[in-house]
Copies of this chain bind each other. A is one copy, B any other.
Amino acid sequence: MPKSFWSEPLVYQGGSDTFLDPMEPIQIAEEAWGIDFEAEVAVIVDDVPMGVPEEEAGQHIQLLMIVNDVSIRNLIPGELAKGFGFYQSKPSSAFSPVAVTPDALGEAWSDGKLHLPLRVTLNDKLIGEPNAGVDMTFNFPRLIAHVAKSRALCSETIIGSGTVSNVDRSSGSCCLAEVRMLEIIADGKPKTEFMKFGDCVSIEMFDSKGDSIFGEIEQQVQPYRN
């Protein structure tokens, strides 16, 4: 990992032509490709000028959502080895049914981060509920300034946080790749498998009163048949 990892955001350009509905099945041709969810927070911005400074970037955040940024894990190593980043390994993402303004989040929205747990279950079993405001290396204004360095962002551009993850492992994980990596560190090999056809992932965030903020993303993995 280059030194710049801690001083510069690591971003990629995702596809934006086809998104999945919050309850739409994740259709993948091969179970063996290694199907994983990634639970994230995302912001929607208005028109952002090229070169916007970090101090002015936050005011462009109009709405927040949660996301399932689906990954096909076993296609990633071959793609990254070629040096141009993800493509086949990042199929369509699903967003929450509801997006809310920063104001509606009250004190949970501060310092350009959303300070609430993001809860993920797989087949109704809790996988994790790490806090999206903890251990986020770069806040959203910093991410926006980074992606607007050499081009303007049009209104409705979506910027994701990356998979929510806490250094304190007691709250669990927001993707199976992290669960498996922790198993490898602990036991030398992973015991958790990636998602199988029929598996169902649920992603949701609750406010301090226990009410769902964005509604639920709930998706079953299904075989794709052309």
Contact = CB atoms under 8 A, between A and B. Distances in A.
A53 to B, nearest CB: 9
Size bracket of the A interface: 35 or more
A84 B150 contact: no
Interface stretch (A13-21, A165-173, A185-193, A201-209): A13-21
Interface stretch (A2-10, A106-114, A116-124, A132-140): A2-10
A82 B50 contact: no
Given A28-B150, A29-B150, A81 B2 contact: yes
Given A17-B157, A82-B4, A150 B226 contact: no
A2 B79 CA distance: 10
A87 interface: yes
Interface of A: 2, 4-5, 8, 10-18, 27-29, 33, 49-52, 72, 75, 78, 80-92, 146-147, 149-154, 157, 224, 226
